Structure 1
Amino acid sequence: MVLGRIVFASVLLGVGLAQAHDDGRYANSPLKPWFETLQSKGGGKCCANADGIALSDVDWDTKDGHYRVRLQGRWVDVPDDAVIKQPNLAGRTMVWPHYIDGRPIIRCFMPGTMI
């Protein structure tokens, strides 16, 4: 029973780590150091540009004073603590989701400059 729990916990930890990684494709980007500093209000690291998803204007908006994003064809509410408040040097709207049982959970969200 204990061994089963250890294996299960190891699998869960491995899945979480596999979802958040920098594969090196943005190693030479001048914004890489800035992306690596991004974190949500709750203190969670957003990871790097490689982990974020750039959104088109039609895939994010506000409803009842809160952001929401469209992922996998469904609208997902962005928790207020996940919104990055610092200036967006990338210019484009980005979201950093992770998935639990196939459902997206928003780790970080950065609205675009809207210019």
Structure 2
Amino acid sequence: MKIINVLIAYILYFISPKTLLRRSFIGTLLNFNIRIPSKATDEIVDYLYDIYLKNKKIDKVMNRGGVNTNMERMLDLIQYEAFFIKDYLEISYTFEFGHEVVLRILKKYNY
């Protein structure tokens, strides 16, 4: 089953990387037993995808990176925000620096 998931991830990476990012983000949140409104998820994914594209362009200009590097970067972005959301919802004090956009989106949807 894992081999099939990996193949699907590679196919989605080339066909629709935003879909891969969205599904991975939702799956990561579900592993933490967290559900947020779909509109909030869409806005967070749009924000993460913009960051991903900017980093990918920088890598292309600097002649570094590749498929594995870009997929790892995508995973890092997903985990970075998912762990923050988990901590934000469970712990009374969290370090919010660097997560202003995600906080604004969560507060916008009263979450």
Scaled to the shorter chain, the TM-score interval is under 0.3
TM-score (norm 2): 0.26
Structure number with larger C-alpha Rg: 1
TM-score (norm 1): 0.25
Which is strand-richer, 1 or 2? 1
Which is helix-richer, 1 or 2? 2
